[in-house]
Amino acid sequence: MLKYIFFYICIILITNSSASNKEKIIENLKNTKNLDFNFEQNINGKIENGNCTIEYPKKMFCEYAKSNNKILVTNGKSLVIKTVTSYYRYPLDKTPLNFILDKNFLINKVYVLEERIIDDSLINYTINQDNIEISVFFNKETYDLIGWQNTDVYQNFNITYLSSIRKNRIISKDIFKLPTQN
């Protein structure tokens, strides 16, 4: 009998912990208007890094370090990746960033999905939407979004890790203007 009581208490604690994590992540997302962070991105073993600013919903500006002036910009509808020698433009809704940059979408998914705790420091949710699978990761102490992994439009495996996260800063709206092709 004691074994059953212990098992029941463990189930209640795990359920309450999961609900508590979800509530804190959702509350944190609701209170976040924008993020500024450093990133490290690994695409099929090629590592790049830089700095990004996200403004919800669906706006992002990233400058890559040491990479022929590479920038990535979304204005909510289109995504542009520009370097000194190349210019690519995609409809945002055809990319995984369409979901990652939509905090209401993330909130709704966190609310209904099962969480996974990794190394007792990360909270992970795996989202399957429109034939796209995205794993998002939150810090278990701060409840901040700290990364994601997915397959991009070219079927490359992409892991993005965020660090030095700052929230709700004053940012210039001009940074989300799409660059023109040279």
| Structure confidence at residue 43 (pLDDT) | 92
Contact between 92 and 74 under an 8 Å Cβ cutoff? The reply is: yes
| Structure confidence at residue 168 (pLDDT) | 97
Burial of 81 (0-12, 13-18, 19+ CB in 10 A): middle
Contact between 178 and 80 under an 8 Å Cβ cutoff? The reply is: yes
| Structure confidence at residue 88 (pLDDT) | 95
Q: Encoding tokens for residue 21?
A: 């994590």
Q: Where are the domains of the chain?
A: 2-176
Contact between 158 and 42 under an 8 Å Cβ cutoff? The reply is: yes
Contact between 138 and 118 under an 8 Å Cβ cutoff? The reply is: no
| Structure confidence at residue 6 (pLDDT) | 40
The pTM assigned to this predicted structure is 0.85
Question: What letters, b where the CB count within 10 A reaches 16 and e where it falls short, cover 114-135?
Answer: ebeeeeeeebbbebeeeebebe
Continuous segment of H or E residues that includes residue 114: none
Could you tell me the mean pLDDT of each successive run of 10 residues in the chain, 182 residues long? 41 51 97 97 94 98 89 97 94 94 97 95 95 95 96 86 97 94 82
The CA–CA distances, whole Å, from 31 to 34, 96, 172 equal 9, 23, 19
| Structure confidence at residue 5 (pLDDT) | 39
Please say whether the structural domain 2-176 has been given the CATH code 2.60.120.380.
no
